[in-house]
Structure 1
Amino acid sequence: MSTKRIVVLISGSGSNLQALINACAQGDIQASIVAVISNRPRVYGLERAQAAGIETQTLDHKNFAERAAFDQALKALIDSFQPDLVVLAGFMRILTAEFVQAYTGRMLNIHPSLLPAYKGVHTHQRALDDQAQIHGASVHFVTAELDAGAVVLQAEVPVFAEDTAETLAARVLVKEHRIYPQVVAWFCAERLSYQDGAAYLDGQRLLAPLKLKHNAV
C-alpha cells in the first residue's frame, strides 16, 4: 500500500490542519500532506504548513467573478498535486456540485455539530439557543448537499448552563482534533470507503455514525 497524498483546504487559523500535521509526523496517519491551499491570503494556517515544510498555495476567491470559475481553478490546482484525499479543514466556501462530484468518496469535512443537527454556520450559538444538553462535532464525506454526506465519526460534549458560544466552541474543538485525524487515518489505511452514498469501515456499512462518548473535557 503506497503512502497516500493529502491536500488540505483552509480559510483560517488551521488548528485542525495542525492536528493532521502532528498525526502525520507521529505516524498515526500513513500519509503525506503534499499541499495546503487557502482561499484567503495570509491566514495563520499557511504559516503552520510552512513551518512543517509543506507547500502552500493561495487562491483568493475574491479574484473570481463567479463561484464556478473559482471552483474550476481550485480543482486544477488540487489536481496538480495528484491527491488521494482532499481534506476540508475550516474551508469556508460552499462548493459547486460539479466540483464535489469530481472528488466523490475522497473528500472529507469536519463540522462543528452533531449532524444532521445544525447544518451551516453559527452552530454553537444555535445549540445554546435551543438549550441543547449535548453538542459536538462530526466528520463526514462531502456531497453536493451542504453538510449532508455520510457521517463517519462524531464526538459529543456536554453543554453547561454557563456556556457561551465561545466556551462551547473551544470544548468542541478539542474533540475535533481527536476525531479528524482518526478518520483520515482510517481512509489512508484503506479501511474507510464511500459507496452508494454510505460510509464503510473495514467493509461494514456504518448504519449510524461511530461516536466518542462525551465528557467534561
Structure 2
Amino acid sequence: MSTKSGIDQDALIQMFAQATARQGETLRQAVSAATLKALQGRELTLQNVRSVLQSVTQAASAGAAQNPGSATDVQKLLEKAFDGMDAALLKAVQAHRTALQQFVSQGADLQQGPLKTALANLEKMEDVFFTTVGKAIQDAAAPVQSAWQPVLDAMKHKGTDTGAQAAATVEQLLAQAHHTLRESRAMGLRTAQALLEGYSTLVSGVLIGMTEGLQQGSAEASAPSTRKR
C-alpha cells in the first residue's frame, strides 16, 4: 500500500519483519532507495520531507515489531533504517546545493526571496530529521520505542551526514555568494576606472573631430567662387 508520501509501507513492513541482522545493509539500501524515490516525486519542501520520513519510520517500526529477532538485532535493523533515510536526505541536500550554486554563480542574492527560504531549510534539515523520526515512533509498540531511543541518542551525539553536508553547503554557498558579489563590485570599479582613465583621450578625440570639422567648414567658406557668369 502506497501512502500519500509515495512510500509503499506494506513492502517496507514486510522487509523489516523478515530481515535478519545479516541483511542490514540490504535493508539500508532499500530504505534509502524508497525514501529517495518518494522525495524525487514531489517538491522538495520541508513539509514533504517530513511526510516521507514519517511514513518510512512508521513502516520500519511496524515491521520491527513483528521481527522475531532479539532486541539487539532489532536495534541494529533500526540503525540501518535511520542510515538509509540519512543517505536519501544527503542526496536531497546535494540537489539543493547544485540548484543554489547555479543562482549564486549568476549573482543572485541568497538573502532574498525563495533562495533565503531554501538556505534556511537546509539549515533545518537535520533538526527536521530527528524531530520527525522522534514523533513518528511515539505510536510504536513499547519494545520498538525502546529499540529506537539508543539509535536516536547515538545519532544526535554523532551527527548525521545530512546535517554535516547541509552545514558545509550553507557555509560554502554564503562564501561563494560573498565572493561573487565582491568580484562583481570589483569588476564594476575596474570598468569605471578604465572609463575615467580613458576620459581625457575620449575628449581629445571628440575635440579633434570637432576641430577637423571646423577647419573643413572654414576652408570651404574661403574658397573662391566658381559660379558661371
Which structure has the larger Rg over C-alpha atoms?
2
Q: Same fold (TM over 0.5)?
A: no
Identify the structure with the greater strand proportion.
1
Name the TM tier (shorter chain). Answer: under 0.3
TM-score by length of 2: 0.25
If asked which structure has higher relative contact order (CA below 8 Å, sep 6+), I would say 2
